[in-house]
Amino acid sequence: MSADRRDAKGRQRGAARARGARNQSQQAPGQRRRTGDPARNAAYDVLRQVADSDAYANLVLPPLLRERGIVGRDAAFATELAYGTLRMLGRYDAVLAQCVDRPLDRVDPAVLDVLRLGAHQVLGMRVATHAAVSETVAVTRERVGAGPAQFVNAVLRKVSARPLDQWLEVLASQAPDGLARLAVTQSHPAWIARALREALVASGRSASELGDLLAADNEAPRVTLVARPGLSAVADLNGAEPGRWATTAAVLQGSDPGALEAVRDGTAGVQDEGSQLVTLALAGAVVDGPDERWLDMCAGPGGKAALLGAIAAERGARVVANESQEHRTELVRRSMKAVPRAAVESIRTGDGRDIGTDEPAAYDRVLLDAPCTGLGALRRRPESRWRRTPSDLGTLTALQRELLDSALDAVRPGGVVGYVTCSPHIAETQVVVDDVLRRRADVERLDAAEAVRAVATTEIPLTDRTDVQLWPHVHGTDAMHLTLLRRRA
Ligand SMILES: C[S@@+](CC[C@H](N)C(=O)[O-])C[C@H]1O[C@@H](n2cnc3c(N)ncnc32)[C@H](O)[C@@H]1O
């Protein structure tokens, strides 16, 4: 979260003065702008679209900033305001509930969103209180109407009466138990906090790490790049530093990967380092016999398919990239555009569940990066923790089982399947794998931890299990899971 002190327009104070900007908060109230500033209006519009249209903030905000010509520090301010507010919504709602004289579900949703934006400026961004309040009131007037402006002003004054640490003490003192305390103060739904605690323990770690994990989910991740082997090199990615674990990974210092030619031409891409590690580990696992034909069963949008394709090109293998949704197959095509043609057998649309029957024992390596709840990538998708429900698990885990069975049928005896999720929820990881293996005598587990260690550039902390669970608070990656399985020869 930004630690800069910012002025009313969200610019760093010194920088604003240097540009000669007028400080709105120094004007007499009657002269104050009655309209919101562009950055705050943009953040407000994102929150409304997320609430009303089930939009994804990280898909809505960038084009909105472009259309409105919001750039530089104002764009950074709008981004932190929108994403930070969405991530910390649970915490802010708990604070607001103490400051509003009725249940929050009886507050107009548009007004509640402005209050959340105000709370994030005051408690999460260290914007000066008078600026945060008056500018948020201006957004209210412009976007919601003059009526609620006074209400917003009064509530935000109450919010700003205590600093964040005092509010957290209040919230913690009201929580019924330790789990609820961490959930509310670290802004996670209780069911997700519980599932993450269970996953930590099941993966061989301690439940006491939960606070660190939830805090890591609340940090905006830095942009990680992949230098696709044989196509580009980490050293050529100007302005990026080598990653922590994967030979292919680089961490961008700025925030605009599109400024790099290698990213534009597809020889490099944006990809979490955990995604790179599990892909490299699958590519490095030992197969018995030929190693020529690889399948990425659920490839969209194509990050792992492009990495696999680049490795396949170096080894004389070729990849089939399959995806069930046509528009996502198109994303795979774009992502793989720099992969040499000889290494790409096809990029196609189809149901992965059919491949095991339609093409039995046809592949030497299969990546099944299964559709999942994404609970391992909460830091990347600001609103997703509030949108997911436990009922999503039933449908997804049934699909994951069917896809894993199909992947195991599609790989030839002696070949290897990598089962990957960007969720650590054990219902999607260990339980799926255990269930499928219980029914099949033709599959053995490989040591995925060993495979990850073999591709890591430095000693990587993993627990004493054969499957691998990465964690944001330990590895700085998304919470990716990898199980490696071999079809018995
Ligand atoms: C976790 S994402 C894969 C991410 C991808 N491997 C990457 O690195 O860019 C899962 C993908 O599976 C696709 N999918 C869902 N059901 C599928 C099915 N039955 N067959 C094939 N793909 C499916 C989704 O559309 C989604 O694009």
| Separation of alpha carbons 229 and 236, rounded Å | 12
Question: pLDDT tens string for the chain (489 positions)?
Answer: 333 444 443 444 433 332 223 333 333 333 455 677 999 999 999 999 999 999 999 999 999 999 999 999 999 999 999 999 999 999 999 999 999 999 999 999 999 999 999 999 999 998 999 999 999 999 999 999 999 999 999 999 999 999 999 999 999 999 999 999 999 999 999 999 999 999 999 999 999 999 999 999 999 899 999 999 999 999 999 889 999 999 999 999 877 898 899 999 999 999 999 999 999 999 999 998 999 999 999 999 999 999 999 999 999 999 999 999 999 999 999 999 999 999 999 999 999 999 999 999 999 999 999 999 999 999 999 999 999 999 999 999 999 999 999 999 999 999 999 999 999 999 999 999 999 999 999 999 999 999 999 999 999 999 999 999 999 999 999 999 999 999 998
The phi and psi torsions of 451 (rounded to 5 degrees) equal -65, -35
E strand spans, 340-388: 344-349, 363-369
Say yes or no: CB of residue 395 within 6 Å of ligand 1.
no
Mark the binding-site residues for S-adenosyl-L-methionine, compressed into ranges: 298-304, 323, 351, 369
What separation in angstroms does the CA of 462 have from each of 31, 179, 483?
60, 25, 13
**What spacing in Å lies between the alpha carbon of 300 and ligand 1's midpoint?**
5
Give the active site residue among 422, 432, 433, 460: 422
Residue 386's identity, in one-letter code, is: W
Q: Which CATH architecture has domain 273-487?
A: 3-Layer(aba) Sandwich (3.40)
| Separation of alpha carbons 295 and 418, rounded Å | 10
Q: Which residues make up the CATH 1.10.940.10 domain(s) of the chain?
A: 13-164
Question: What's the ipTM?
Answer: 1.00
Q: Which residues make up the CATH 3.40.50.150 domain(s) of the chain?
A: 273-487
Say yes or no: CB of residue 309 within 6 Å of ligand 1.
no
Q: Whose CA is nearest to atom 10 of ligand 1?
A: 371
**What spacing in Å lies between the alpha carbon of 328 and ligand 1's midpoint?**
8
What separation in angstroms does the CA of 338 have from each of 22, 262, 264, 341, 481?
48, 10, 10, 8, 27
**What spacing in Å lies between the alpha carbon of 178 and ligand 1's midpoint?**
36
Task: Respond yes or no: is residue 422 known to be catalytic.
Answer: yes
Say yes or no: CB of residue 428 within 6 Å of ligand 1.
no
What separation in angstroms does the CA of 212 have from each of 31, 124, 186, 234, 435?
46, 18, 10, 30, 31
Yes or no: say if 133 and 153 are a contact pair by the CB < 8 Å rule. yes
**What spacing in Å lies between the alpha carbon of 367 and ligand 1's midpoint?**
11
Say yes or no: CB of residue 142 within 6 Å of ligand 1.
no
Q: Whose CA is nearest to atom 2 of ligand 1?
A: 371
- List CB contacts of 172: < 8 A, sequence separation 6 or more: 181, 184, 185
Tokens 């429900």 sit on residue: 389
Say yes or no: CB of residue 352 within 6 Å of ligand 1.
yes
C-alpha 211: how far from chain center = 18
Element (H, E) at 213: helix 210-217
Element (H, E) at 224: strand 224-227
Mark the binding-site residues, compressed into ranges: 298-304, 323, 351, 369
**For residue 202, what are its two tokens?**
């099941």
Say yes or no: CB of residue 481 within 6 Å of ligand 1.
no
Whether CATH 1.10.940.10 fits 13-164: yes
